[in-house]
Amino acid sequence: MTISAQSVTTAPTSGIISSGIVSSGVELDVDEFGPSFGAELRGIDVASASDDEVRAIRRALIEYKVIVLRNQHLDDAAHIEFGRRLGDLTVGHPVWDSGDVPDEVYSLDSADNGFADVWHTDVTFMPRPPMGSILRPVVLPRNGGDTNWADAELAYLSLSEPVRTLIEGLRAVHDGSREFGYYLKQRRGGKGNEWDGREVTELPPVTHPVVRVHPETGRKSLFVNPGFTSHIEGVSDAESRGILDLLYAHLTKPEHIVRHRWRLGDLVLWDNRNTLHYANRDYGDNRRVMHRITLRGDEPVGPSAA
């Protein structure tokens, strides 16, 4: 199958991609991770990529949700420059101070509690979570530290119809204070970073639809995650726990997951609007440092508003 690098159709599709190439005047060799999502794009150097190649990469990101590019030995400046060619960038994180790195970089350093060993979707505790993320390793342990992604679109499609009907009108509360509230208050003195034009001084809970409609494809996906979703609005605590536990167990079924073993020079992009991810914390006292930049997103919209 040839995937054009032009704008993506808004018509809902099955979400199943057949093998082939991504093409836009140039052809990118695609090695798919599985039958539903995830792929490695081979034969491209992002530091010298043409505009057509960058458009093809972005189209591949929308179609495959998670894409890997090997042998991309970038520094922070080149990492940021590539991100800017794909879209507008946010600061690295609304709250976290990553130290002596550019503002656009979020440094996850295991020596400074930089772990991500809980299933989550990046920054859903803000009104406009990132559209996508671009991650590269800086320091890797000898082994361990793999990252897993779950396909929230496939998970939605594989739910039974009665459960899809139950959840489509629900909204969930996302609360960043559980993870970052103490840090913001105590280590940052109540002054975080600038996000969407405003300095973050507190982390009030926000609500998002449980089922999100992708703004570029029209496809539906689950938009809750154990890292930041606290509860579902309008139901009892017991009902909220029951619904969320059901969705989390379903999201993280093996058939919804791909796993990546990191090598220095890797660059991984994912669509934050229809995936969750989890970094294995299985490398003991060895150090693991990852640098991430994020693409600016929009306010999540549910089926009733789409």
Q: Which residues are catalytic?
A: 120, 122, 277, 292
Distances 16 to 12, 30, 63, 245 between C-alpha atoms, Å: 11, 15, 9, 26
Neighbour-count burial for 226-235, b at 16+ CB within 10 Å, e otherwise: bbbbebbeee
Residue 75: name the closest of 101, 40, 45, 114 by CA: 101
How many Å apart are CA 94 and CA 129, to the nearest integer? Answer: 10
Two structure tokens written together for 277: 């991810």
Tell me how far apart the terminal alpha carbons of the chain are, to the nearest angstrom: 29
Count other C-beta atoms under 10 Å from residue 13's C-beta. 12
How many Å apart are CA 1 and CA 30, to the nearest integer? Answer: 10
